[in-house]
Structures are given as structure tokens and as C-alpha cells.
Amino acid sequence: MLNEKVIALLNDQINKEFYSAYLYLDIANYYIDNDLDGFGNWYNIQAQEERDHALLFLRYLQQNGVKVTLEAIDKPAEVFEKHIDPLLAGAKHERYVTSLIHTIYEAAYDVKDFRTMQFLDWFVKEQLEEEDNADTLVNKYNLFGDDPKSLYLLDQELAARVYTAPSLTL
């Protein structure tokens, strides 16, 4: 049986992951509205990943006999004025999500909930990748973004990204 604090944090993480999907859809919309469809594609795929993360947390709770409570998802409040702004917001958000995963892991550790810790191990590794990807996008934009030809090439690179569902099995 899962600890009540761990349950609450896991349940809240479902909402946070769905919010992440909303945020990335909002970022995708910004880029598509600004004719940077490759950037839009990259963030649409990010949104799919975040939705799948939410479903993994939901399924984990269900498999542990926990009734899941879905909450309202906040509307993203970011206002983007320059093309770099969404990239910076995405990188900041990934660091925030990492802190949330660490908080859940710590709560599970405190009560010796090894099953939840093992479940979270995948997310700890995933967040390293997510932060690295977000930081790499910021760095590439800082290197090339002010040059229209380079921005076009970066947009084309991001357009080539395809979605791959997570392979985590519960």
C-alpha cells in the first residue's frame, strides 16, 4: 500500500504532466503562428510525450489500487514576444518538472517505498534528457537564431523529429 503523501504527490504529478502538455501545445501554436513549423512540430511532439508521462503516472496509481483524482489543468500564462522566449520557458519548465520528480522520489525514499522509487528511476533519467534537449535548443538558437538562413535550417532540423512513445512498462 502506498503512503498517503506519496499518493498525493503522484496524483498531483498527473496534473503537472498534463499542464506540461498544454504548455508545449501553446509553444507549438506560437511557432506555427510565426511560420516556424519545424519548431511547432518539435513542441507538438513534446506535448505528446508529456501526455504519455501523465498516463504512466495514472496507470501506476491504478495498478496500486489508488483512486485517481483528475484536477483542472491551468491555462499557460506565458506571453512570448521573441522566438527565443518559448525556448527559455521550455528549459525553465523542464528544470521545474525535474524538481517535482525529485520531491516525489524523496518522499518515497523517506518511507522506504522502493516500488515507487524504481518506477521514478525512469523519470529521473528522462528528465536529464529533457533538460539536455531544452538547453540544446536554447544554445542552437543563440548560435544561429539571428541569421535567417540558419534559423531556416534549424527549423528544418526540428521538422524532422518524429514521435516515439516511451517504452516504460509497468
Q: For each of the chain's 170 residues, which pLDDT tens digit applies?
A: 899 999 999 999 999 999 999 999 999 999 999 999 999 999 999 999 999 999 999 999 999 999 999 999 999 998 999 999 999 999 999 999 999 999 999 999 999 999 999 999 999 999 999 999 999 999 999 998 788 999 999 999 999 999 888 766 65
Q: What is the pLDDT of residue 32?
A: 98
Q: What is the pLDDT of residue 23?
A: 98
pTM of the shown model: 0.93
Q: How far apart are CA 14 and CA 9, in angstroms?
A: 9
Residue ranges of domains in the chain: 4-159
CATH assignment of 4-159? Answer: 1.20.1260.10
Q: What is the pLDDT of residue 30?
A: 98
Q: What is the pLDDT of residue 170?
A: 57
Q: What is the pLDDT of residue 168?
A: 60
Judge whether 91 and 134 are in contact, CB under 8 Å.
yes
Q: What is the pLDDT of residue 97?
A: 98
Long-range contacts of 34-37 (CB under 8 A, 24+ apart): 34/83, 36/83, 36/151, 36/155, 37/155, 37/159
Q: How far apart are CA 101 and CA 22, in angstroms?
A: 19
Question: Amino acid identity, residue 58?
Answer: L
